């Protein structure tokens, strides 16, 4: 029984040596040069082409190469009864922790203001705000949100998390659900979005939400472009309700070259690089999950399609 690697060609050479090392002896078929789809038991996919998965009669699980599963929409014929496993792996987690920590500190230490002052050759120290008085809110307090929170707590920032279901973590104020949202927002001077993109979260970063943040708050969106209502962000920056934003994700990607975000003085922009799945550590994570399944244990990180993540 084999593994199907189902993505566009350029990814395969980066992944194959690591999948082979993590699962020695297991056959790996690389789409489109597949020998026999009936031998496929597991598929490792990114933006899978439409109609291939449904031709695998012995498929037991689909492993998403990404944490987000919105890319699976490329295959509307994906067999709905086959479990999908989200990507949870060390490379992705450490990358996101780095990005969130870097952007939070960037705004906490007012680097955008210093960059503007530098452009004017202006020497002007701004007041220092102690970390333990700076409030950071993480929307989406799951795998990545919780790991990022640990790093921020280590820097003595005042961290809160917001999730769908109740959570608890030492040193973090945890809020959940619609009922917990307003109180969470009211104490978030720096708001980090790490939500999955679902029907419930699309467009969540909008004027109504921005109005509930402390005036002059900063937004960091490392989740998906579909979370953000772009016109509302521009209006909130213009009015001063938001001070600045760091954006890593857009809808569509790449961001069109004439988009106003590119030249906005209060926006820091990166091209969806906050974190990336590392084939080496991701292959180990997939191998461990397959081993768990073959011992008769449930897969880790299975997507609940009734929730959309
Ligand atoms: P998880 O599934 O582990 O965590 C998602 C969190 O969001 C959970 O805490 C969940 O609540 C919460 N959540 C979901 N829906 C709602 C809702 N309606 N209201 C309140 N909270 C909600 O995902 P990950 O942490 O692994 O990844 C998060 C997202 O980050 C990915 O979906 C992806 O889009 C993005 N990402 C971006 C990358 C980049 O490079 N920019 C890289 C990797 C990921 P609960 O805990 O109760 O389930
Ligand atoms: C992911 C991403 O979802 O890289 O893994 O955006």
Query: CB within 6 Å of ligand 1 — which residues?
Result: 67-68, 92, 96, 140-145, 163-165, 194-198, 200-201, 222-224, 248-249, 272, 274-275, 309
| Domains of the chain with bracketed CATH | 2-89+277-294 (3.40.50.720), 91-269 (3.40.50.720)
| Residue to substitute in 164, 199, 247 for testing ligand 1 pocket (most ligand atoms within 8 angstroms of CB) | 164
Assess whether the C-beta atom of 65 lies below 6 angstroms from ligand 2.
no
Q: Which residue among 86, 224, 227, 293 is the active-site one?
A: 224
d(CA 5, CA 49): 11
Per-residue pLDDT at 162: 99
Distance 175 CA to ligand 1 centre (A): 15
- Based on the residue annotation, tell me whether 224 is a catalytic residue of this protein: yes
Distance 196 CA to ligand 2 centre (A): 10
Per-residue pLDDT at 299: 98
| Token representation of residue 138 | 């993480």
d(CA 250, CA 252): 5
Distance 109 CA to ligand 1 centre (A): 27
Ligand 1, atom 16, lies closest to the CA of 164
CA pseudo-torsion sign 120, 122, 128, 131: positive
- Based on the residue annotation, tell me whether 176 is a catalytic residue of this protein: no
Across the 309 residues of the chain, what is the mean pLDDT of every consecutive 10-residue run?
Answer: 92 96 97 96 97 98 97 96 98 98 98 98 98 98 98 98 98 98 98 98 98 98 98 98 99 98 98 98 98 98 97
The pTM of the full predicted model, rounded to 2 decimals, is 0.98
Per-residue pLDDT at 175: 98
What DSSP string runs through 74-143?
A: G-TT--TTS-EE----HHHHHHHHHHHHHHHHHHHTTHHHHHHHHHTT---PPPP--GGG-EEEEES-SH
Per-residue pLDDT at 1: 87
Instruction: Decide: residue 109, CB within 10 A, 0-12 exposed, 13-18 middle, 19+ buried.
Output: middle
Q: Which atom of ligand 2 is nearest to the CA of 275?
A: 4
């Amino acid at each position: 029984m084999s593994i199907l690697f189902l993505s566009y060609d350029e990814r395969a050479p980066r992944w194959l040596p690591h999948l082979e090392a993590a699962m020695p002896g297991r056959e790996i078929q690389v789409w489109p040069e597949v020998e026999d789809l009936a031998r496929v038991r597991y598929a490792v996919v990114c933006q899978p082409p439409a109609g291939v998965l449904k031709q695998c009669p012995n498929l037991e699980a689909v492993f998403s190469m990404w944490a987000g599963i919105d890319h699976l929409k490329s295959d509307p014929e994906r067999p709905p009864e086959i479990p999908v496993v989200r990507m949870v792996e060390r490379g992705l987690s450490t990358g996101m922790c780095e990005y969130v920590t870097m952007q939070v500190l960037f705004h906490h230490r007012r680097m955008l203001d210093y960059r503007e002052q530098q452009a004017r050759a202006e020497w002007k120290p701004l007041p220092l705000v102690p970390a333990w008085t700076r409030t950071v809110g993480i929307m989406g307090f799951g795998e990545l949100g919780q790991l990022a929170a640990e790093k921020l707590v280590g820097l003595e920032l005042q961290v809160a998390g917001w999730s769908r279901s109740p959570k608890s973590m030492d040193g973090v104020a945890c809020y959940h659900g619609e009922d917990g949202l307003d109180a969470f927002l009211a104490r978030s001077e720096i708001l980090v979005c790490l939500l999955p993109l679902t029907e419930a979260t699309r467009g969540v970063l909008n004027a109504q939400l921005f109005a509930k943040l402390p005036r002059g708050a900063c937004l960091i969106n490392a989740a998906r472009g579909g979370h953000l209502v772009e016109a509302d962000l521009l209006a909130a920056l213009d009015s001063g309700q938001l001070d600045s934003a760091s954006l890593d994700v857009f809808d569509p990607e790449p961001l069109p070259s004439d988009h106003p975000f590119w030249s906005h003085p209060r926006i820091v922009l990166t091209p969806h690089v906050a974190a990336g799945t590392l084939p080496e550590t991701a292959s180990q994570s997939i191998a461990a999950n397959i081993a768990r399944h073959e011992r008769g244990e449930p897969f880790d990180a299975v997507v609940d399609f009734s929730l959309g993540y």
